[in-house]
């Protein structure tokens, strides 16, 4: 259940306050006779979702997604789970699904191999998160997919130095080596380059842009739009 409090969304994980409906003496008796084992389980049940949510939000400090495997490792190390073995992995998966469903900012994203990672939309956009997922497939796949998407949907070529900036962070030499390898692989034969009158190199996909059109767009993006504001 969720409720709004001063513009913030509060998630209730079933930690009810039924005991506060009792009289003072009854509450004292309830606390005195409570099973310590059950109390410990209740405390763990409350701490785990709060800790997981904090982990995901704090991952903004590294600018990275937090994988489900890493979340599982941390909560096991902190002994926050009620179950053990295979059941503990299922418990973490259930907690994560509940957190995503009931919070306004926590999001999950699946990679091609089926693994899932998490982030907070308060600190990271979905587009940025998708690039981080794509990076796990290697730099050549990242270059190809980013270039194809830009050629298909905008359409526009992509400046080569884009890939030296976050979240790509490749060196100039690394990019040149990657492009040389891509030219020799059939999978990337559609990735082409064009050079503007200011000697800037941009990439485009021949699957979505014809060469003349790509050259015109590149010249406009790099030179024309600044000369003709």
Are the beta carbons of 217 and 157 closer than 8 angstroms?
A: yes
Token pair listed for 48: 């785990």
The answer to whether residue 8 sits within a structural domain is yes
pLDDT band at 229 (very low <50, low <70, confident <90, very high): low
The answer to whether residue 133 sits within a structural domain is no
Span of 61-70, 71-80, 81-90 with lowest mean pLDDT: 81-90
Q: Are 20 and 115 in the same domain?
A: yes
Q: Are 170 and 63 in the same domain?
A: no
Comparing C-alpha atoms, which of 153, 147, 131 is closest to residue 194? 147
Q: Are 102 and 212 in the same domain?
A: no
The answer to whether residue 132 sits within a structural domain is no
Strands 116-120 and 201-205 come out as: unpaired
Per-position DSSP letters for 10-63, written without gaps between them: EE--S---GGGGS-HHHHHHHHHHS-HHHHHHHHHHHHHHHHHHHHHHHGGGTT
The answer to whether residue 72 sits within a structural domain is yes
Span of 10-19, 106-115, 171-180, 189-198 with lowest mean pLDDT: 10-19
The answer to whether residue 131 sits within a structural domain is no
Question: What does the alpha-carbon distance between residue 79 and residue 99 come to, in Å, rounded to a whole number?
Answer: 19
Question: What per-residue confidence (pLDDT) applies to 27?
Answer: 46
Q: Is 73 or 85 the better-scoring residue by pLDDT? A: 73
Which residues, at least 6 apart from 153, have a Cβ–Cβ distance to it below 8 Å? none
Task: Could you list the beta-strand ranges (E) of 74-200.
Answer: 106-110, 116-120, 158-159, 191-195
Question: What per-residue confidence (pLDDT) applies to 63?
Answer: 84
Question: What per-residue confidence (pLDDT) applies to 222?
Answer: 87
pTM of the model: 0.67
Q: Are 145 and 117 in the same domain?
A: no
Q: Are 23 and 98 in the same domain?
A: yes
Question: What per-residue confidence (pLDDT) applies to 44?
Answer: 52
Span of 11-15, 202-206, 210-214 with lowest mean pLDDT: 11-15
Q: pLDDT of 3-49, one tens digit each?
A: 444 444 434 433 344 333 434 454 455 444 454 444 444 455 578 89
Give me the mean pLDDT over the 127-131 stretch. Answer: 92
Q: Are 102 and 45 in the same domain?
A: yes
Token pair listed for 173: 């030499």
In terms of Cβ atoms closer than 10 Å to its own Cβ (0-12, 13-18, 19+), residue 40 is exposed
Question: What per-residue confidence (pLDDT) applies to 223?
Answer: 76
Q: Are 87 and 119 in the same domain?
A: yes
pLDDT band at 226 (very low <50, low <70, confident <90, very high): low
Determine the structural domain holding residue 219 and report its residue range: 138-227
The DSSP secondary-structure symbol of 83 reads: S
Q: How many domains does the chain have?
A: 2
Q: pLDDT of 151-171, one tens digit each?
A: 999 999 999 999 999 889 899
CATH number for the domain spanning 50: value is: 1.10.10
Q: Are 119 and 24 in the same domain?
A: yes
Coil, strand, or helix at residue 106? strand
The answer to whether residue 54 sits within a structural domain is yes
Question: What per-residue confidence (pLDDT) applies to 81?
Answer: 83
Are the beta carbons of 146 and 158 closer than 8 angstroms?
A: yes
pLDDT band at 117 (very low <50, low <70, confident <90, very high): very high
The answer to whether residue 27 sits within a structural domain is yes
Q: Are 85 and 142 in the same domain?
A: no
Q: Are 88 and 161 in the same domain?
A: no
Question: What per-residue confidence (pLDDT) applies to 10?
Answer: 37
């Amino acid at each position: 259940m969720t409720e709004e409090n001063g513009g913030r969304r509060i998630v209730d994980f079933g930690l009810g306050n039924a005991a506060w409906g009792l009289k003072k003496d009854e509450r004292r008796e309830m606390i005195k006779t409570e099973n310590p084992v059950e109390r410990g389980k209740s405390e763990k049940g409350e701490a785990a979702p709060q800790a997981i949510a904090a982990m995901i939000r704090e991952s903004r400090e590294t600018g990275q997604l937090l994988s489900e495997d890493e979340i599982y490792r941390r909560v096991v190390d902190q002994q926050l789970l009620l179950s053990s073995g295979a059941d503990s992995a299922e418990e973490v998966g259930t907690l994560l699904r509940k957190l995503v469903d009931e919070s306004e900012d926590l999001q999950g994203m699946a990679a091609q191999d089926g693994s899932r990672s998490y982030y907070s939309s308060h600190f990271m956009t979905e587009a940025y998160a998708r690039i981080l997922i794509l990076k796990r497939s290697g730099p050549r796949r990242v270059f190809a997919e980013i270039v194809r998407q830009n050629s298909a949907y905008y359409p526009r070529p992509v400046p080569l130095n884009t890939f030296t900036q976050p979240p790509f962070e490749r060196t100039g030499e690394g990019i040149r080596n990657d492009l040389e390898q891509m030219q020799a692989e059939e999978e990337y034969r559609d990735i082409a380059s064009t050079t503007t009158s200011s000697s800037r190199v941009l990439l485009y996909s021949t699957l979505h842009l014809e060469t003349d059109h790509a050259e015109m767009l590149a010249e406009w993006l790099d030179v024309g739009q600044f000369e003709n504001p």
